[in-house]
Amino acid sequence: MKKLLTLILLLITVISSGQTSKISLIPQPAEIQQSAGVFRLSGSSGIIYTAPEAKGIADMLARKLNLATGFPLKTAQGNSGTILLSLNKTAD
């Protein structure tokens, strides 16, 4: 039984590894704009959201990144920033 479970887990891993994109994010965003170079997060980085409904998500992301990095990231509503969160206006 243990060997069967190990085999199933291995197959799931192999199958799912073939379905990854260049950038692994969960959940997958609707759009990614990738540029040349690297992305560096710093204490002066900010998380900007375009719609008031995204404030809770921006705050949650700031808390999670603060735990991981120690950076006290600020959130604000706007149209440009280090990290920009925007919501789709239409359902997929």
14-40 pLDDT, tens per residue? 565 554 456 777 777 777 777 888 878
Average pLDDT, integer, range 39-57: 89
Q: How many of the other CB atoms lie within 10 Å of CB of 55? A: 15
pTM of the model: 0.61
Q: What is the mean pLDDT of residues 34-51?
A: 86
User: In this structure, which amino acid lies at residue 57?
Assistant: I
DSSP state of 53: G
DSSP string computed for 6-31: HHHHHHHHHHHHTT--SS--SSPPS-
